[in-house]
Structures are given as structure tokens and as C-alpha cells.
Amino acid sequence: MADFRSAGMPAPRRYRLLDLEIDLVAQRVVRDGQPLDVQGLSFRLFACLLSHGDAVAGFDRLMADVWAPAVVNEETVTQRVKLLRQALGDDGRRPRYIRSVRGRGYQLCEPPVALDEQSAPETAAHAPRRSRRPWLFAGAALALAALGAAAWWLRPAPAPATPGLAQELLQRARYYAGIGQRDNNERAIALYRQVLADAPGDRDARLGLSRAYSARVCLYNFPVEWTDQAQRLAEAAVAAAPRHATGWAALAYAHDCRGELQAALDAYRKAVQLDPGDDSSRASAAYLLQEQGQLVDALHANLDMRGDPRRVRFRDVQIARELELLGFDEAAEARFRRSFRLNPDNVFSNIAWPRHLFLQGRYREAQAALDEAMQRRTPHVDLYLLMGELALLRGDRAAAAQAFRQASTLRPQMDLPATLAAVYATPPADRAWLDRRLAATRAQIAAGAAYPSDRLQLAILHLARGDRTAAMAAVDEAVAAGYSDRAYLQTSPLLQPLAALPAYAAAIDTISRRMAAQRQQVLTADWRPPELGGMAH
């Protein structure tokens, strides 16, 4: 999150920090509707930390902003932080909200979200809606549509729509958005808004803002309602210039981040049709084909880059995932490991490597890789979901429940983390809750806002109700819809109660036969990856 003082923006009046809501005007901190006892200097200290986003607030800055004109020392700051933590229910040894930065000061553990914008009329009018993007369903296809779409920022800039300062602002906005970090995405949003304040019809700024709003949801754990604004901006651009590829690609990204697979795929394809050089849309469409089990087409699209493939960030991770699903384990592992080593600041590389080890049954190595990924401070819901599954494999249900709760807290609008948090809670969710969740998931699937892997969530819910027959039927539905991760079905503790059923083995065999046929197509194709060159015969 950007520092609003340095960005030249008015400071937000309300924030969300994980499960806390903070009103700076009312000087009020609320959790689950209950006010916390954060007052006086403690509140001023908290407000100062919020104004820094997740950047470090140094001791000098804290003393100047909170205590001046009084003269205090670092020990005073430390004691007040201790009192603030007590009021928030935070533990300095395992901080959730505020962490110490040795010798420098303090910082928030997660970037706070400004709520002022979220309560604007265009978003408040919509009831809360859960994000349907499956992300890593702890072994389902990696959420690389967001990655391909992130390559937007690396595409050649279009012809200037506005001269002078506005064009410089646009260039800076693209630069910040292309870094792939939450605070820089917020800086990009601020710059796009500056352009639109002077030129409300600027096409490039509107499309850039649309993509940045979608990235908030796809990449940075913002509420899914931001895709409403992203979609409206993109639809307006498409209506004004239906032959303009970037408008269709921005629209596809908005659909993508809402989990609307077919609508996203259609729009990405339209963008590529209008601009065959749009490699980022080609890579994003490839991910969605991968989700539908069309791995030959997905891999071919990822290898058929018209420009410099390096400009499509994380393409190697996406190719590795397709090779993994097709059974080319050695080639996949080499790509996953390389990406993990070369991209320590990228959350998707950090997810992909421990997840690959998990699917290979190398649980100790997977845990070590996951621990390293968590230390890299690239938090993502999928890391916590994988943490929970590894805990279940160790027989530590309490640790699994805690990991699932953390995942749900990080991305409360996602269905799967909330489902797992409820199923593994103590006591677990009752039958009425499970029935409501089943009905809601069924409705989403019927509406077309679902991925094949969403049927596995149905299986988990049915298992929690003690209905193995219905759970098995949901797995069969997922496989029929294109779900292709046989290794996950063989590995996941979430589905272990089905492992002894002959129908479960038959479902895995169905995937194996489908993958064997596609694997042979890849081996005989003249476009196959170079590492498979000697395997054709």
C-alpha cells in the first residue's frame, strides 16, 4: 500500500487490516463487530503505522508523529507498542498485526486496505460476492491466469493518447504496475487516477486502471467487488473501440479474476485474434485451457510466443505445470526449481515449488520449501492451504485448522479457505452450515462461474456430512469437466476417505488415460519443448 502522504493523495479515513476495521475519524478499532480498547497514544501509534502501509515506520518518525512535542526515547515507543499489541490481542513472538524490525522500528505484518474507496456508491450497491477463482486448490491447477495477465505491463506502450505530463504519468504507472508488488500496484492506480482527473476519457489510463483493479483481486487479496469497476472500465473501452485488442484483454482479465472461465477465455481469444502479437493474452488463455484439461493446446500456446517469451513473466512456471500434469516430471521439476531460485520475491514461484514436491510425495522437502517461501514474505492464501494439508499428513489437525483459518482471514471472499476453516474447526461446522455451503457452490457451478476443481470442494463438503457416495459423484463431475491432476487425487489428505473406493481408482485411471493420449501428442509434435526433444522415439 502506498504511503498517502508521499503519493500526494488524501489520507483514507477507514482501513481494514486482516480482521480489524479502523476508523481514524471516530478513533475506533473493531473486530467482528466488537470494539477494541485502543485509545489515546495507542490509537495514534496505530494510525501512524497505518499511514505507512506495510513499510517500516522508523523510531524517529514514530516519536515525531505520535509524541511530539514531547521528547521520548525508543523504550517509550517499545512500551507503547506492547500496550497496543495487548489491546489488539497480538503476540510479539508470533505477530499477526505488528512486527518489530530490529534496530529500525515497526511495521504492519500485512498491507492495510483503504475502505473509503470500497464504500463508494458503485461498489456499495452490490452485495458481497465470493471470488470463484480456484487458485491453487492445494494441488489443483496453479492460478497462472493472473500471471499471464500480469505481463500486460510489459507490453509495448500504445501510441500516446495524451501529450506531455499525462504521458509521463502513464509511463510511470505502467512501470509501477509491471513490478508485480502490491504497494507499487497502488502507486500505479494513483497515477492512472491523476491522468483521468484531467482527461476522464483517456483510453490508456482507463484500461490501465481496469487492469490494476483486477490485479487487486487476482494478486493482492482485495475484495472481489473491485472487478466490478474493472469490468465497467473495460466494457466502456470495448464499446468505444471494438477492434482494439487491449480493451478485450482488460475485459478478459476482469472476468478471469471473478472466476468466470468461459467469458474470460472468449475475451482473451478475441484479443489475440485482433492482435496476434498479444503474448500475454495468449498465455492467459493457455492457463484457462489448462484448467479445462486441454493441455496440448495450452502447452502449444505457451510455446508459441510471437515476441520475446521472457516478456511474459512466469511463463516457465505455467509451462512447468503443464509438463507436470502430462507426466513429464523431470522436465517440470527443473523449471519449478529454477523459478524458485531465481524469483525469491514472486509469490507464484514460491507456491509452485513446494506444491510440486507435495504432489511428488516428498513431504519433508515440501515442508522445507514451504518454510523458505514463508520467510520470503510473499504471503498468499495458497501457501496457507498447502501448510494445512501438510499438517494433516503429519496428523496435526490443530495446526491444519490454524493454517486454514489464516488462509480464510487473508482472503475472506474465497470459498475454499472458508470451507476448510469451518470443516476443520473445533467444533466443526454443523450440518445446516454444510448444506447451505453445498447449495451455494452448486448454484455457482450452475451459473457457469466455476472451474472443474470447484467440484472437489463439493466432495469435501459431502465428506464432512459423511456422504461418501455424493463425494465420489462430485469427483467424477470434476474429472468429466476436465480436472486433470491425478497426483493431487492420490496425495491430498482432504480426499483420503475416498481412496479405498474402486470408483476413486477409476477416476484416477480416467485422468491417466486422457493424459497419456495428450502426452503422446506432445511427444510427436514438432513444437514440443526442447527438453523433450530426445523423447519422441
**445-471 pLDDT, tens digit each:** 887 777 899 899 999 999 999 999 999
Whether residue 120 has pLDDT greater than 60:
no
More confident site: 438 or 15: 438
Averaged pLDDT, 494-518: 96
The 10s digit of each residue's pLDDT in 64-114 is 888 776 667 888 898 889 989 988 988 888 888 999 988 889 999 888 888
Question: Lowest-confidence range among 10-24, 248-262, 367-381?
Answer: 10-24
Three-class secondary structure assignment of 360-412: CCCHHHHHHHHHHHHHCCCCCHHHHHHHHHHHHHCCCHHHHHHHHHHHHHHCC
Whether residue 323 has pLDDT greater than 90:
yes
Whether residue 46 has pLDDT greater than 80:
yes
| pLDDT of amino acid 179 | 75
| pLDDT of amino acid 428 | 95
In angstroms, the Cα distances linking 520 to 66, 261, 286 are 67, 27, 19
Question: Lowest-confidence range among 66-70, 362-366, 506-510, 515-519?
Answer: 66-70
User: Which positions ≥6 away from 233 have C-beta within 8 Å?
Assistant: 206, 207, 209, 210, 213, 250
Q: Is 127 exposed, middle or buried (0-12, 13-18, 19+ CB in 10 A)?
A: exposed
Q: Is the dihedral of CA 133, 187, 247, 311 positive or negative?
A: negative
More confident site: 521 or 197: 521
DSSP single-letter state for residue 531:
G
User: Which positions ≥6 away from 387 have C-beta within 8 Å?
Assistant: 370, 374, 399, 403, 406
| pLDDT of amino acid 515 | 96
Residues 351/339, Cβ–Cβ less than 8 Å: no
Q: What is the rounded CA–CA span in Å between residue 230 and residue 130?
A: 16
Residues 483/511, Cβ–Cβ less than 8 Å: yes
Whether residue 40 has pLDDT greater than 70:
yes
Q: What is the rounded CA–CA span in Å between residue 148 and residue 192?
A: 21
Averaged pLDDT, 266-295: 93
| pLDDT of amino acid 136 | 42
Q: What is the rounded CA–CA span in Å between residue 211 and residue 183?
A: 15
Closest-CA residue to 388 (of 373, 399, 380) = 399
Q: What is the rounded CA–CA span in Å between residue 113 and residue 356?
A: 32
| pLDDT of amino acid 261 | 86
CA-atom Rg of the chain in angstroms = 24
Closest-CA residue to 180 (of 414, 386, 409, 349) = 349
Whether residue 529 has pLDDT greater than 70:
yes
Question: Lowest-confidence range among 14-23, 138-147, 365-374, 389-398?
Answer: 138-147
The sheet carrying 34-35 orders its strands as: 34-35, 28-31, 20-23, 14-17, 113-114
pLDDT bin (cut points 50, 70, 90) of residue 128 is very low
| pLDDT of amino acid 461 | 97
| pLDDT of amino acid 175 | 86
| pLDDT of amino acid 417 | 93
Averaged pLDDT, 33-43: 83
Q: What is the rounded CA–CA span in Å between residue 314 and residue 178?
A: 13
pLDDT bin (cut points 50, 70, 90) of residue 139 is very low
pLDDT bin (cut points 50, 70, 90) of residue 244 is very high
Question: Lowest-confidence range among 109-113, 163-167, 176-180, 333-337?
Answer: 163-167
| pLDDT of amino acid 119 | 39
| pLDDT of amino acid 70 | 67
Whether residue 1 has pLDDT greater than 70:
no
| pLDDT of amino acid 490 | 95
H or E element in which residue 219 lies? helix 203-220
Whether residue 130 has pLDDT greater than 50:
no
| pLDDT of amino acid 199 | 87
- Computed over every residue of the chain, the mean pLDDT equals 84
Question: Lowest-confidence range among 30-39, 116-125, 213-222, 335-344?
Answer: 116-125
% of the chain with per-residue pLDDT over 70: 87
Closest-CA residue to 461 (of 507, 495, 427) = 495
Residues 502/510, Cβ–Cβ less than 8 Å: no
The sheet carrying 57-58 orders its strands as: 57-58, 105-108, 98-101
